[in-house]
Amino acid sequence: MTLSGRKKLTSMFLAFLCLVYSSSALAQPVIKEITGKEGDKIWFIEDHSIPVIQVKIAFKNSGSSYDSPQKSGIAYVLAQMLDEGAGNLSDIQFKKRLEEMAIEMDFDVDKDNFYASIKTLSENRKNAFEMLGMALTVPQFGSEAAQRVSGQLITSLTQKMEDPYYLSGIKWDELYFGSHPYSQPMMGKPETVSDIRRKDIVDFMRMKFVRSNMVVSVVGDISEKELDKLAYEYLYVLPKTPPNIDTPFLHNMIQEFIPPENAKTISLHSPNPQSVAAFGLPWLPYKHPDFYASHIINYVLGGGEFESRLMKEIREKEGLAYSVYTYPQNYDHASVLSGAVGTRKAKIKDSLDIIRKEIKKIHEHGITQEELESAKSYLTGSFAIKLDSNKKLMDFLTFVQLNDLGIDFFEKRNNYIEKITLNDVNRVASQLLDDSKLFTVVIGENEKQDK
Amino acid sequence: MKHGFITAFLATIVFFSANARAAITQSNEFTLKNNLNVVVLTDKKVPAVIHMLWYKVGSADEKPGKTGLAHFFEHLMFKETDYLRDGEFSSLISYNGGNDNAFTMQDYTVYFQTIARNHLPLAMMLEADRMKNLEFDKEKIEREKKIILEERNMRIENNPKALLAEKMNSSLFNGHPYSTPIIGWKEDIENITADDLKEFYERYYRPDNVTLVVSGDITADELKPLAEKYYGSINNGEKEIIRADLEKPLNISKHYVSLEDKRVKNPEWVRYYVAPSASSSKSEHALPLVVLAQILGGGETSRLYNSLVLEKKLALDVSVYYDEMSLGKSTFSFQAVPGKRVRFEQIETSVEQEITNLIKNGINNEELRRAKNLLRAQAIYARDGFKNMAFVYGFALSTGLSMDYVENWPDEINKVTASQIVKAAKYILTEKNSVTGTLTEEKQKENDIIW
């Protein structure tokens, strides 16, 4: 294969030439499901290539949307407090012990779930499981640590408000989700974080950290037998089901979100030279039969970086932005196609007009056969090679379990994409991709238009 | 995001080059007849590779008045060649399931693709093409200028912290090639011409000025014929490679830079010291400085965090950063977020007290052991996946270091003694070679600086 003698022929020609080089079949990770004595399950990939073990626990229905609406930020504060001392170890002792053994312990939340994860050298596995178990069952929540953590969080939240990308995302969620719990920011708000008390996080933890909510994924240098033993000893000490706590907000269920009829646009003033707009519209959930068709629409519209229509029109043709993109956000009870663009203040409206125009175009005329082929080719070809580290495999196991996609999802996933036809995509585009449902938040609209 | 994501990438570099290094047993190096240097790292877990070209030219090599040229040029590399249309490079990679990107630093410029192993020849063919056959279209260059100005808006102009860092760096390295921002000053970007770009290309983009790093499912025996085939026949140009004079003496005196910006919500205190790198003069201090940064400000068990955040409650956060991989001198930096009603001078005094204390009373064995354990464990964690190590080797080889340097790093870290660290601290952390920066909201009385 060589380029000489070829003058700008069609690119597809080249793509097939490459197949002459020895190809090796994609290696499939062997995913095991381990079932403990009491029925608890772990998804596990055994790998001894590096002496490292990574564990991720997700607690379902325990994310920021389950915060009390008056105290947005409870789940996130809990995440920040869990490594601030546990059992008989003070905050500083706990952290020093982690550092001593180079155990990395992280806690995080998204709208739906709470996550706890560890990375450890396999020689320290027992200590790592033990300390994770301590953090989840007997955290100290000392008042001095709590004050410090909440002060840090409030500062960091005020600082984040300076970032137009963060701000536009927060405002978009408020605008779109309205009174639904998904409108709450994941990290809380400065004014609500200061109201969070010890009892709030203790109750939240007792109610949520139970085995019926727990989804465990492990990748690394450990045997199945020992993993089962360590999990039994240090993780299955959590109660099976939630205790009886009468705090009302902890019993709130999240309803399926119904997208509003009328789209809205808001603009906020900003001193920045570059305006940032967040935009989005209703989308399909993973379990929907047309999900993969919508996935292809996203790739063609704004998900496929330089291959996307938005990047070609807004960046390459008009020079209006360095960055413009879309991506699907699939929550348990709502799905949206989100996107963002940054353009100098005087021209932000031009970028937004193009976005609307391109959405309309795909809505009315669909995508081309060539675009379909390119999207399928990228989405199938990149899938397995993106899972290029144990960390990513662990995240993948968690994702598949949380969305109930089946243990054979790795093998099946590309077939779902292969079978999509142009008719499927264009039918879905004509129903789904409706610019009249586009919600937009502009941070720093052109001053002239504000008047 | 794609094409020159300088700031985003800095975060990765903090991780890679300050901490993460480890030996890979299957590493090989060979050189083609035209002096193109090749590094192969074999890790067969996933049937994919990362293919990277590390050109030995960066922002430090730009002429006065032409800052941003190296980065501007990086953008052009995705445009038209004799054989390919604009953007076709990335289209071909995507069509074959791969991802590609690039970034520009002070000492080097990097282009890379992650792709299934059977498509490696495609990536090589495309890189070989743009090493020689790039076209320079004035109109397209003017359009790209707008995109780069939006990139500067997004990364720098919209972000007061980045503006302060730019001012401080300019002041610390006053008159030195490292004093200019990688993305370039706005007026300079506007003044870059097609001739500048063409001259730059002819001088620096040639096989003997690049390190090829390929990591993943590939051996040296497999790579050699491919490297010969695609890169072996490219000639080095006639122009002389002129690199910046990085040993140029710095005219250093202690000084202050302040930035008042109405967008700032939380004040910030930052100090930079000029420090040796592992390649500059006085390089014997480099590894002791890596350990020093960990002990002073590496996380929540560090001395500064303990003193300023936990004990004195002056700061909400404090951290230290040092990267020993730089062709010329490096920077040893401190950053603190003052608590409410805390004055900058209180932060400054406390940081200086901790430095004095360390120099006077030394380091205890326990904290030295903890810091070293953590650094060495992170070198093992960096081996998760085939991509990280490709970056680490690339950073090293592009900043005048060898493969041995990377492979011996954990052992060399282990050999660092307490007295070497104290000696390095004494040599570096003296006031005469520092610049201190403060970030405040306009007219903020509480944090007025009284020096």
pLDDT at A451 over 50: no
- pLDDT computed for residue A252 by the predictor: 86
- Indicate whether A428 and A373 sit together in one domain: yes
- pLDDT computed for residue A27 by the predictor: 65
Please tell me the distance in Å from B440's CA to the nearest CA on chain A: 12
Confidence of residue A446 (pLDDT cuts 50, 70, 90): low
pLDDT at B443 over 90: no
Determine the average pLDDT of the residues in A291-298.
98
User: In chain A, which residues have their Cβ closer than 8 Å to the Cβ of B122?
Assistant: 1, 14-15, 17-18
Domain boundary among A186, A212, A244: A244
User: In chain B, which residues have their Cβ closer than 8 Å to the Cβ of A390?
Assistant: 384-385
Determine the average pLDDT of the residues in A384-394.
95
- Indicate whether A302 and A342 sit together in one domain: yes
Residue (of B51, B82, B55) closest to B71 by Cα position:
B55
- pLDDT computed for residue B432 by the predictor: 80
The count of C-alpha atoms lying within 13 angstroms of the C-alpha of A234, restricted to the half-sphere facing its C-beta, is 21
How many domains does chain A fold into?
2
Does some domain include residue A12? Answer: no
- Indicate whether A274 and A224 sit together in one domain: no
- Share the mean pLDDT of chain B: 91
- Interface check A52 vs B, CB under 8 A: yes
Instruction: Give the model confidence (pLDDT) of A218-231 as tens digits.
Output: 999 999 999 999 99
Distance separating the N- and C-terminal Cα atoms of chain A: 60
Confidence of residue A29 (pLDDT cuts 50, 70, 90): confident
Determine the average pLDDT of the residues in A336-359.
97
CB within 8 Å: A316 and B86: yes
Phi, psi torsion values for B139, nearest 5 degrees: -65, -45
- pLDDT computed for residue B106 by the predictor: 97
Instruction: Give the model confidence (pLDDT) of A199-210 as tens digits.
Output: 999 999 999 999
In this complex, which of A50, A319, A386 lies closest to B147 when CB atoms are compared? A319
CB within 8 Å: A274 and B384: no
Instruction: Quote ipTM for the complex.
Output: 0.92
pLDDT at B315 over 60: yes
Task: Say how far residue B30 (Cα) sits from the centre of its chain.
Answer: 25
Contact B329, B246 (CB under 8 A): yes
d(CA A321, CA B131): 27
- Indicate whether A218 and A88 sit together in one domain: yes
- pLDDT computed for residue B20 by the predictor: 39
- Indicate whether A339 and A440 sit together in one domain: yes
Determine the average pLDDT of the residues in B247-265.
90
Of residues B376 and A18, more confidently modeled:
B376
Task: Provide the domain limits for residue A45.
Answer: 32-244
CB within 8 Å: A21 and B95: no
pLDDT at A346 over 80: yes
pLDDT at B295 over 50: yes
Confidence of residue A26 (pLDDT cuts 50, 70, 90): low
- pLDDT computed for residue B430 by the predictor: 82
d(CA A384, CA B267): 45
pTM reported for the whole predicted model = 0.93
Q: What is the percent of chain B where pLDDT is above 90?
A: 87
Determine the average pLDDT of the residues in B386-392.
95
Beta strands in B43-185 (DSSP E): 48-55, 99-104, 109-116
d(CA A201, CA A141): 9
Does some domain include residue A408? Answer: yes
Instruction: Give the model confidence (pLDDT) of A7-25 as tens digits.
Output: 444 444 444 444 444 444 5
Dihedral sign for Cα A347, A351, A357, A360, please.
Answer: negative
Determine the average pLDDT of the residues in B158-181.
96
In this complex, which of A18, A155, A276 lies closest to B316 when CB atoms are compared? A155
Does some domain include residue A415? Answer: yes
- Indicate whether A233 and A303 sit together in one domain: no
CB within 8 Å: B373 and A315: no
d(CA B151, CA B145): 10
Q: In what order do the strands lie in the sheet with B27-31?
A: B27-31, B37-42, B210-216, B48-55, B109-116, B99-104
d(CA A80, CA B310): 16
- Interface check A51 vs B, CB under 8 A: yes
Contact A122, A51 (CB under 8 A): yes
User: For the purposes of burial, counting CB atoms within 10 Å of the CB of A386, is it exposed (0-12), middle (13-18) or buried (19 or more)?
Assistant: middle
- Indicate whether A237 and A90 sit together in one domain: yes
- Among A1, A3, A325, pick the best mutation site for testing chain B contact (most B Cβ within 10 A): A3
Does some domain include residue A172? Answer: yes
Determine the average pLDDT of the residues in B3-12.
35
Please tell me the distance in Å from A240's CA to the nearest CA on chain B: 33
pLDDT at B18 over 60: no
- Indicate whether A409 and A277 sit together in one domain: yes
- Indicate whether A162 and A192 sit together in one domain: yes
- Indicate whether A234 and A287 sit together in one domain: no
CB within 8 Å: B94 and A307: yes
In this complex, which of A272, A315, A385 lies closest to B48 when CB atoms are compared? A385
Q: Which residues of B are catalytic?
A: 74
Confidence of residue A393 (pLDDT cuts 50, 70, 90): very high
CB within 8 Å: B266 and A52: no
Paired strand residues for A42: A34, A216
Determine the average pLDDT of the residues in A17-39.
70
- pLDDT computed for residue B449 by the predictor: 38
- Indicate whether A218 and A291 sit together in one domain: no
- Indicate whether A302 and A385 sit together in one domain: yes
Please tell me the distance in Å from A43's CA to the nearest CA on chain B: 19
- Among B51, B82, B96, B186, pick the best mutation site for testing chain A contact (most A Cβ within 10 A): B96
Q: What is the CATH number of the domain that holds A350?
A: 3.30.830.10
In this complex, which of A1, A104, A377 lies closest to B95 when CB atoms are compared? A377
User: In chain B, which residues have their Cβ closer than 8 Å to the Cβ of A158?
Assistant: 265-266
Domain boundary among A244, A274, A305: A244
Query: Please, what are the domains in chain B?
Result: 32-231 (3.30.830.10), 255-440 (3.30.830.10)
pLDDT at B23 over 90: no
- Interface check A380 vs B, CB under 8 A: yes
